[in-house]
Amino acid sequence: MKLLLASLVGIALAQDAGSSWAVNPTPGTLATGPHKAGFWAESTLPQHTIFAPISPPAGLKLPVLIWGNGACSSNGTYFRRSLFQVASNGFFVIANGAPTGGKGQTTSKMQIDSLNWIKANAGKGKFAAVDGTRIAAAGQSCGGLETYEAAISPQGQAQISVVGIFNSGEFGSSVKSKKVTQPIFYFLGGSSDIAYANGERDYKNLAASHPKWKGNLPVGHMVCKPSRVRSPLTFRPPGAKRTAASSARLRLSGSTGRCVGTRPPASSLPAPVRRRLDGAWNRRTWTRSRCSRRMPDWRCR
């Protein structure tokens, strides 16, 4: 997400404005930007979630990020950690999906709805601090495919200044991506990212003169992080005592969805416990959902 901020910094310069959201946003945590950020449901855009500085200072003009969730999720807070971070650095973010979630999946029409809403509301009334002339559209995985469609729509061509594609790319061949006219950046997860080849192909098939950038961080398709800060989880095989020697501290690896961690030295364990531990450790290629069920305090983000 730091790379996203670096890519958008050119459109994030402050200008004169004032603002009052007239709502009580749900505050975020762990964001490192200079502004305390929060999210809320806007009654005039009920199928979306807004992330923004809770009390933007006078004189700050907020550029806009239109966001499409991975899996085309209709939960507007699905990527809240990342979007809190963006908002804390002075952005007005509109994510597809209501804060409480919804049925089915989102579509690119929801990003276009966000563009129409920005056109009607930015710079006016309580949204006077929102700068509708500086809009970025981005999305992760399925949300990236939505972003392609939004970017090449008539509304997108008129309003979107820059496009961001995270862990995504078209299936089969590059068609819609080659119609994008705005500057575009790709953030891919390395060769273990299931969308790696698609994103690499789309990037390669852009015209040589097209303003573009691509970066790879070897984390796979989606990084999993703890849903809240707490001490490392401890895995104990059935029957094993809760001792430092018989504990294996685990974490979720977003690149594969596997449970991985530091295995205790086998020599320190009684043979029966060691056999149980070996069996559990050899079966560590659980799916991400099984890891989540085994470890309910950890969720994919």
pLDDT of the residue at 267 = 54
Q: What angle do CA 270, 273, 278 make, to 5 degrees?
A: 115
Place of tokens 């809760």: 242
**Model confidence pLDDT, tens digit, residues 18-36:** 336 878 899 998 899 999 9
pLDDT of the residue at 103 = 81
pLDDT of the residue at 253 = 32
pLDDT of the residue at 273 = 52
Classified as helix, coil or strand, 215 is: strand
Residues 6+ apart with CB under 8 A from 294: 259, 286
Judge residue 92's burial from the number of C-beta atoms within 10 Å of its C-beta, 0-12 exposed, 13-18 middle, 19 or more buried.
Answer: buried
Q: CATH classification of 2-221 is 2.60.200.20, yes or no?
A: no
pLDDT of the residue at 8 = 54
Q: Which residues of the chain have pLDDT under 70?
A: 1-20, 223-301
pLDDT of the residue at 100 = 86
pLDDT of the residue at 293 = 32
Residues 6+ apart with CB under 8 A from 288: 224, 252, 257, 300
pLDDT of the residue at 231 = 32
User: Which part of the chain is CATH 3.40.50.1820?
Assistant: 2-221
Place of tokens 């070996």: 278
pLDDT of the residue at 22 = 75
pTM over 0.85: no
pLDDT of the residue at 187 = 97
